Amino acid sequence: MISAPFVPPLKCQGIKTKLAGDIARLAQRLDFDRWVEPFCGSCVVALNVQPRKAVLSDSNIHIIQFYLDVQSGRVTAGSVREFLHDEGEKLRRAGEAHYYKVRERFNSEPNSLDFLFLNRSCFNGVMRFNRHGTFNVPYCHKNDRFAPAYITKIANQVKRIQDVLARLDWTFVAADFRSALSQLQPSDLVYADPPYAGRHVDYFNSWSEDDERELAKILKDAPCNFILSTWHSNEFRENKLISENWNPPGFHLFTRKHFYHVGSTQELRHPMIEALITNFAHVEYALAKDENEQLAFLEEPLPYGSNQPGQLRHAS
């Protein structure tokens, strides 16, 4: 695990940048051979845990292709810098007309550089596709989006990924979660961060309560340890699927308050209480406090049931 948070170049709804450290500290306490992540998304958690061997999969083929292209060298920090400079200059001159030109080009012939451009210049950093698999997020209305410092930041993020992938044995697969979890071994560790039912269901394809229940059954039957992240509650409602799916003995849960800056509506940008659920317990585990964290994220340990703040609840 690396000490400084690793921020990837791709932005997704529900990105776990500010929770990756807690997940990594849980993983550190386990002896496992392979990290299996069926909803890898931006890959922020894997990039912060940095397991020696991993299978990272997602149903979003464009995310997987982006990481495959970085891994193979088809996309490099240099090519990203050059592309964003050229396309950013066109954006500065033509504004939204150029954004929609790139969006149409990507939807006709997808490629990783256009995907990155759209991801970093669309409205609120939302990654959204319609039922036909078409990227349909509108423009952010910032013609000077790709300033030199911003391009350098993104290129540096890509360079860090290049360095990680050069020394670790990671496999990227475009797959449904059922396929991704179909060949688990006792020595694996699964980290599952599914779309949150009732919230980010249009991330790439729909996610239903039935999908949530099926995932829970797969994890309960898994021969290995797992960590599941999901939403616990917000000021409007609670996640009823937690009590429905994770009441049996043997599962452990803690919560943390988290503020999402990425979201298409104000409701999605309210503070959210996150839940991490595992099938293993660590009495000594407590959430670490980073004095350098931005207070805007409103992160703090919260009690769950009779728990002490920031600790795992142990099943009876």
Per-residue confidence (pLDDT) for residue 238, from 0 to 100: 87
Is the pLDDT at 270 greater than 70? The verdict is no
pLDDT digits (tens, 9 = 90+) for 165-175: 999 999 999 99
- Average of per-residue pLDDT across 284-306: 36
Per-residue confidence (pLDDT) for residue 260, from 0 to 100: 55
**Using CA atoms in the order 151, 152, 157, 163, what is the torsion angle rounded to 10 degrees?**
130
What pLDDT band is residue 255 in, cutting at 50, 70 and 90? confident
Residue 120 half-sphere exposure, CB side, CA atoms within 13 Å? 26
- Average of per-residue pLDDT across 3-12: 84
Tell me the one-letter amino acid at 10: L
179 Cα distance to chain centroid: 19
Is the pLDDT at 294 greater than 80? The verdict is no
Q: Is-contact 21 69, C-beta < 8 A?
A: no
- Average of per-residue pLDDT across 267-278: 76
d(CA 78, CA 159): 9
Neighbouring CB atoms inside 10 A of 148's CB total: 11
Q: Count, in order, helices (H) and strands (E) of the chain.
A: 10, 8
| pTM of the predicted model as reported, rounded to 2 decimal places | 0.84
Q: Is-contact 219 241, C-beta < 8 A?
A: no
Nearest CA among 194, 266, 246 for reference residue 16: 194
pLDDT digits (tens, 9 = 90+) for 18-66: 789 889 999 998 999 999 999 999 999 999 999 999 999 999 999 999 9
68 Cα distance to chain centroid: 17
Per-residue confidence (pLDDT) for residue 234, from 0 to 100: 76
Per-residue confidence (pLDDT) for residue 287, from 0 to 100: 47
Per-residue confidence (pLDDT) for residue 271, from 0 to 100: 74
181 Cα distance to chain centroid: 18
Is the pLDDT at 263 greater than 70? The verdict is no
Nearest CA among 157, 14, 136, 17 for reference residue 84: 157
Q: Lowest mean pLDDT: which of 65-69, 160-164, 225-229, 270-274?
A: 270-274
Nearest CA among 61, 313, 57 for reference residue 190: 57
pLDDT digits (tens, 9 = 90+) for 86-139: 999 999 999 999 999 999 999 999 999 999 999 999 998 888 998 889 999 999
What pLDDT band is residue 206 in, cutting at 50, 70 and 90? low
Q: Cα Rg for the chain, rounded, in angstroms? A: 19
Highest mean pLDDT among 4-13, 76-85, 206-215, 288-297: 76-85
Q: Is-contact 259 315, C-beta < 8 A?
A: no
d(CA 63, CA 56): 11
d(CA 252, CA 82): 47
What pLDDT band is residue 258 in, cutting at 50, 70 and 90? low
